[in-house]
Amino acid sequence: MTPVVVFLKGKENIQDQTSYVIVANHQTGWDIFLLYGFLPIDFKWMMKKELRKVPWIGYASEKVGHVFIDRSSLRAAMRSLTEAKQKLVNGTSVLMFPEGTRSGQKEMKPFKKGAFKLAVELGLDVLPVTIVNTIR
């Protein structure tokens, strides 16, 4: 039991066995637990490659098939998006934080284009997720 109250709206709009590019804002580390616990979709994370070096998290993320994005150059990032495309089958979706990092505040940072380019290239719907008040 946690001291967190979660309200999930719009779940009825999610179609079974449909792949989405899920985009969510990112305020704090709690967001990850909330998405895992309450988003009723099979998804793989698109996460910055630096997280691969974090003990346990990097190893576990790699083993379950999450995608690490190399943001060092446009070419490297495109290779990561190509890898993500291969994971979007049989209703598996990819989840991205288009701000690129935690905002650490209630206001969102500008979105990067990668998630939306991926959705257009693959003809997938974007599933927007808004996380509110995980930062106080």
Alpha-carbon span 124 to 136, nearest angstrom? 34
pLDDT of residue 125: 93
Which residue's entry shows tokens 């209630």? 106
Sequential pLDDT tens for the chain (136 residues): 556 677 888 889 898 889 999 998 877 777 788 888 888 888 988 888 888 899 988 899 888 888 888 777 778 777 777 777 777 777 889 898 887 666 566 667 777 787 888 889 888 899 998 877 776 6
Domain coordinates in residue numbering, the chain: 17-129
pLDDT for 133 equals 73
Fold of 17-129: Glycerol-3-phosphate (1)-acyltransferase (3.40.1130)
Q: In what side-by-side order are the strands of the sheet with 43-48?
A: 67-69, 43-48, 93-96, 20-24, 125-129
